[in-house]
Amino acid sequence: MTPCHNIEQATNKEDQDNHRSAVAFFKEGNRLFNENKLRPAQEMLTKALEHEPENLYALARLGDVWRRLKDPKRAMKYYRLALRVDPENLFSLRGIGDACRDLKQYRSAIKTWKKYLIYRPNDIFVLSRIADGYKMLGDIQSSQSYYHKALQINSKDAYSLMGLADLFHKTNQTVSAIENYEKVLSGNPSLLNIMTILGNLYWRQKRYDQARIYYERVLNLEKHNPYALYGLGKYFLNKGNYPLAIKYWERLLQKNAGTVKVFVRLADAYIRTADYDAAKKTYERLHRSGYADCAQRGLDRLQRLEMRSENNPGRSWELLDVAR
C-alpha cells in the first residue's frame, strides 16, 4: 500500500476507507495515551497501523507508548519506522535519542540529539538532555556547557538550573550549587527536596543559622519530614540547646524508623543533660531496631560514664566518645 497521510493523498476508495479507520484508531489511541492507559493505547495504535502501515503519527506515538512501558528497544523500532516514512520527522529523531538514553547508550543519545539540534538549535529540552548525557559520561565541562546554553535561552529554566546545581553539588562546588538551587527554589518555592539540600549545603559551610531557616521551611510544609527534623536536632545540639535537640529527634523517631546516627545523637543529647536513664532507653531502642553491636557499645560506654560520675560526684562528667 502506498503511504497516505491525509485523505487527499488516498488514491482510491479502499485507501480512503483505510485512512479514515487509521485516523479514528489513532485518535482513540492518542486519547488513551494521554490518559496513561498504555496497553489499550497500544492496541488502538496497532489497529491504526493494520489499516495504514505507514501512518507516521501512529508509528511515532507507538514509540512513545513503548518508552513509557519501559521497552526502549521496541520504542526505537517504531521511531525508526516513522523516520523511514518521513526522514525529517524531528519528533521521532528526538525519541530515538531518548530511547538511547533509556538504554544507557549515552554517546548514541548525544549524537542523535545533536542531529536534532541542527533543525531546532534553541530546544531547551534537548540541550539539557545532552548536558545530562555528558554528566553521565563524566564529562563535566561539556555537561556544564550545554546547561549554560539552555540557560542562555531561558535563564529561569528549572530543569537546567537543577541539572547545573546537581553538577556543582557532585563536584563539591558548594557556593555555585547553592546559587543555582536557590534560583530553582525562587521559581518553585514548594520543592521540599531542594530546601533540604540547601539546608545540608549551608550546614556543610558552617552557616548554621541559614541551614536552620531551610529546615524550618521544610517542616512548615511537611511536619514529620525526617531530614528537616534531623537537621534541626543537629542545629540545637550544636547550639547547646539539648532539650530542643531531643525534642526534634524524638519527633523524628515517632514517625520514622530512624538510623544508627539518630539514635546515637539522641543518646548523646540525653547524656549531655545527665539523663542517663533516657540515654539507656535510647540505646535499648537501637538494640530493638536491629543494631545490637552498636547499642551494646553505647551501653558499655554509658556504664563507664556512670561509674566515673559516681566516683567523682564533684567533677564535671566527661562526654562519651560517640559516633557522629
Is residue 148 pLDDT above 70, yes or no? Answer: yes
In this predicted model, what pLDDT tens digit does every residue of 134-145 receive, in sequence order? 999 999 999 999
**3-class DSSP string for the chain:** CCCCCCHHHCCCHHHHHHHHHHHHHHHHHHHHHHCCCHHHHHHHHHHHHHHCCCCHHHHHHHHHHHHHCCCHHHHHHHHHHHHHHCCCCHHHHHHHHHHHHHCCCHHHHHHHHHHHHHHCCCCHHHHHHHHHHHHHHCCHHHHHHHHHHHHHHCCCCHHHHHHHHHHHHHCCCHHHHHHHHHHHHHHCCCCHHHHHHHHHHHHHCCCHHHHHHHHHHHHHHCCCCHHHHHHHHHHHHHCCCHHHHHHHHHHHHHHCCCCHHHHHHHHHHHHHCCCHHHHHHHHHHHHHCCCHHHHHHHHHHHHHHHHHHHHCCCCCCCCCCCCC
pLDDT band of 15, cuts 50, 70, 90: confident
Mean pLDDT of the chain: 90
Residues 210-227 have a mean pLDDT of: 95
In this predicted model, what pLDDT tens digit does every residue of 231-278 receive, in sequence order? 999 999 999 999 999 999 999 998 887 788 999 999 999 999 989 999
What is the pTM for the complete model shown?
0.75
Break the chain into its structural domains and give their ranges. 1-119
CATH top-level class for 1-119? mainly alpha
